[in-house]
């Protein structure tokens, strides 16, 4: 009724198939129908087809390509008839380590990170690529990028290679083939070249194979040089390696004949029994490797078959002593050879001298001196030993029984300690003498110690501190071990000091200093021959720390003179600890008492009834306080 045309079946409408349709229609006005007229219906294009990345695209790139190098441009198609503008080119997978980048507008693939582009690591990449036509995005398609191998790595001669060859190797003899590596795959090595080393003139290397051979074996000798260095390089056709040192070790070969040591001489007694060892013959071998000698043989000189040699050890022994007689033959010259298992030595003469037998034992021992002075140093000679023996040309060995005091130095008796006549005046020694035949004799000797005058000695340390008004006492001790009359002399002293020698090794120095200062004292102890001095300085000081201003400290001592009891009143004494001491006028301590926690009224009563009549010193001490009182006992 309206004449409007609508689509009833759109399944066939496709611009890419048919761009227009005709549609014939008529119309009626209720009575009359018009003639048929053709209507044209044009189909407009719509972007309704997704682009397709062309399949099986492959590109190649050299492994040494730099960043931004073009790999190639990816192709794509689109089913829409209207020309398509492609965009949003994207690598969606396979771009390991982001080696490649893709231009989103053009689809061109370029190198993004040349550091990761390495044929030896990855030879081919499979990149998944998508693209958009502005509306639709293609399915991912794999684009292959193959990496071309480039000779971009320098070959490396394998380090620390070594070969072993025998010292008797012939010229052209094979040493070994040098190995090398190259980071490039499938490398062929060439131009192997010697560049130096101690073996440069002895060996050569094959330029193609790297095989080392001997060119001059004249100097190859293990006993001279045990190894050589040989420095080589190699090429991969483009790059040449750094020099690397090859070690060629020389192995020892038993190529030197042994030599029996010349001028060897042995001796044997004429009365030696069969199987007695004469000695072992020595030999040397120029080969450095330890040689095992064998096949020792006496080839001449063994008259009457007296001797035999052990074929393994080279030891010569007596095998038939019937004709071993000094009076018949005094010496034998044996020709001896030996083998090292391969080579046999030349014969060498070994001399065996026959000893005349010893038949007599020593009969006496003489000592040249039997005295030693006391205080002699350790090692002082006492005397020289000699012996008597009926056999002529004897050699004697002396032995001294262990005694702790003397020892032997060859044929000399020497001291092992410093002797003191005052301890022991003599020692008994047992001496044994043995001749070269093993026969012995022993005897006893008495060694006398000679007395020597010795220096007197001070035994005590001096008292070097004193106080003005207080008794000073130094009980000096001295000694003279000789007991031959030691005298004490005063060389220097202060006037207030008196000296009394008691004559029994003791002496008393005492007195009351009247002034401060330093006073020199020099004492001398002497006998008829020696003397020794004791020098010291007495420092005299005043008492410090006494509170004589405040009057808080008060000590009363009474009665004085005293007969029975001495009263010491500390009523006003405020210190915590107090020491009370009583001395004789010579400085001898009679009593000493310590009193703690003094407080209040304190009176100490001491009985002095047992003391002899005379003067004494009473000393009261506390922290910061010291006072002396002269007490008279009636």
The parent domain of residue 413 ranges over 364-450
Lowest mean pLDDT segment, chosen from 189-193, 401-405, 430-434 = 401-405
470 phi/psi in degrees, rounded to 5: -105, 150
Pick the more confident residue, 483 or 408.
Answer: 408
Helices (H), 224-349: none
Lowest mean pLDDT segment, chosen from 183-197, 287-301, 385-399 = 385-399
Model-level pTM?
0.38
Q: Which class for 544: exposed (0-12), middle (13-18), buried (19 or more C-beta within 10 A)?
A: exposed
CATH of the domain at 163: 2.60.40.60
309 phi/psi in degrees, rounded to 5: -120, 135
If pLDDT is split at 50, 70 and 90, which confidence band does 246 have? very high
pLDDT at 22: 87
Q: Which of 355, 382, 410 corresponds to the end of one domain?
A: 355
Of the chain, the percentage scoring pLDDT greater than 70 comes to 94
pLDDT at 550: 35
pLDDT at 549: 32
Do residues 21 and 126 share a domain?
Answer: yes
Q: Which of 484, 508, 541 corresponds to the end of one domain?
A: 541
DSSP 342-381: S-BPPPEEEEEEEEPPP---EEEEEES--EEETTPPTT-E
- Alpha carbons 369 and 380: distance in angstroms, whole number: 12
* Residue found under tokens 């089913």: 79
The two tokens of residue 289 are: 């490797």
Do residues 130 and 24 share a domain?
Answer: yes
The two tokens of residue 565 are: 């009891």
pLDDT at 52: 93
Do residues 54 and 143 share a domain?
Answer: yes
Please give the radius of gyration of the chain, using alpha carbons only, rounded to the nearest integer: 62
- Alpha carbons 57 and 532: distance in angstroms, whole number: 120
Average pLDDT over residues 609-613: 88
Give 558-574 pLDDT, tens digit per residue.
Answer: 898 888 899 888 765 55
Give 68-113 pLDDT, tens digit per residue.
Answer: 999 999 999 987 877 788 999 999 999 999 999 999 999 999 999 9
Give 310-355 pLDDT, tens digit per residue.
Answer: 999 999 999 999 999 887 899 999 999 999 999 999 999 999 999 8
Question: What is the rounded average pLDDT for all residues in the chain?
Answer: 88
Give 43-57 pLDDT, tens digit per residue.
Answer: 877 777 889 999 999
Do residues 344 and 381 share a domain?
Answer: no
Do residues 2 and 96 share a domain?
Answer: yes
Give 262-278 pLDDT, tens digit per residue.
Answer: 999 999 998 899 999 99
Do residues 44 and 115 share a domain?
Answer: yes
Average pLDDT over residues 253-266: 93
If pLDDT is split at 50, 70 and 90, which confidence band does 482 have? low
pLDDT at 581: 81
- Alpha carbons 302 and 296: distance in angstroms, whole number: 14
């Amino acid at each position: 009724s309206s004449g409007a045309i609508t689509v009833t079946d759109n399944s066939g409408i496709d611009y890419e198939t048919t761009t227009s349709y005709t549609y014939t229609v008529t119309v009626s006005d209720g009575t009359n129908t018009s003639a048929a007229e053709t209507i044209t219906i044009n189909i407009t294009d719509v972007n309704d087809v997704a682009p397709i990345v062309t399949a099986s695209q492959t590109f190649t790139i050299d492994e040494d390509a730099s960043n931004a190098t073009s790999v190639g441009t990816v192709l794509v198609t689109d089913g829409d008839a209207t020309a398509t503008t492609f965009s949003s080119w994207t690598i969606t997978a396979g771009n390991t380590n982001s080696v490649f980048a893709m231009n989103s507008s053009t689809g061109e693939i370029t190198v993004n990170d040349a550091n990761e582009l390495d044929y030896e690591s990855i030879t081919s990449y499979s990149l998944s690529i998508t693209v958009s036509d502005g509306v639709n995005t293609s399915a991912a398609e794999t684009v292959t990028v193959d990496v071309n191998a480039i000779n971009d790595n320098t070959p490396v001669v394998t380090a620390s290679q070594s070969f072993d060859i025998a010292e008797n190797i012939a010229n052209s003899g094979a040493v070994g083939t040098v190995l090398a590596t190259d980071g490039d795959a499938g490398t062929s090595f060439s131009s192997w070249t010697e560049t130096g080393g101690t073996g440069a003139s002895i060996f050569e290397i094959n330029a193609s194979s790297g095989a080392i051979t001997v060119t001059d074996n004249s100097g190859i000798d293990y006993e001279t040089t045990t190894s050589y260095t040989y420095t080589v390089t190699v090429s991969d056709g483009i790059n040449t390696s750094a020099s690397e040192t090859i070690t060629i070790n020389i192995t020892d070969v038993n190529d030197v004949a042994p030599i029996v040591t010349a001028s060897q001489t042995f001796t044997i007694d004429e009365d030696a029994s069969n199987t007695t060892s004469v000695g072992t013959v020595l030999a040397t071998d120029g080969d450095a490797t330890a040689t095992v000698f064998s096949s020792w043989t006496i080839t001449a000189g063994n008259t009457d078959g007296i001797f035999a040699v052990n074929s393994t050890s080279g030891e010569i022994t007596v095998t038939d002593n019937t004709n071993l007689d000094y009076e018949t033959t005094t010496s034998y010259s044996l020709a001896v050879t030996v083998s090292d298992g391969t080579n046999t030595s030349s014969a060498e003469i070994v001399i065996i001298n026959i000893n005349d037998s010893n038949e007599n034992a020593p009969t006496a021992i003489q000592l040249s001196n039997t005295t030693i002075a006391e205080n002699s140093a350790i090692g002082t000679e006492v005397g020289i030993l000699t012996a008597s023996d009926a056999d002529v040309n004897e050699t004697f060995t002396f032995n001294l029984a262990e005694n702790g005091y003397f020892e032997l130095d060859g044929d000399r008796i020497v001291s092992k300690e410093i002797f003191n006549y005052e301890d022991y005046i003599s020692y008994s020694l047992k001496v044994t003498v043995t001749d070269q035949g093993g026969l012995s004799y022993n005897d006893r000797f008495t060694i006398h110690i000679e007395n020597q005058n010795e220096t007197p000695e001070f035994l005590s340390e001096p008292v070097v501190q004193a106080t003005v008004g207080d008794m000073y006492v130094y009980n000096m001790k001295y000694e003279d071990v000789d007991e031959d009359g030691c005298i004490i002399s005063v060389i220097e002293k202060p006037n207030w000091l008196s000296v009394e020698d008691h004559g029994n090794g003791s002496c008393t120095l005492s007195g009351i200093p009247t002034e401060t200062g330093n006073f020199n004292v020099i004492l001398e102890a002497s006998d008829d021959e020696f003397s020794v001095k004791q020098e010291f300085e007495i420092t005299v000081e005043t008492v410090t720390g006494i509170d004589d201003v405040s009057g808080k400290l008060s000590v009363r001592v009474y009665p004085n003179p005293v007969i029975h009891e001495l009263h010491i009143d500390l009523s006003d004494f405020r210190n915590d600890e107090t020491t009370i001491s009583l001395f004789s006028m010579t400085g001898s301590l009679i009593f000493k008492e310590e009193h703690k926690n003094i407080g209040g009224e304190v009176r100490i009563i001491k009985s002095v009834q047992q003391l002899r009549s005379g003067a004494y010193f009473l000393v009261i001490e506390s922290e910061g306080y010291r006072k002396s009182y002269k007490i008279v006992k009636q």
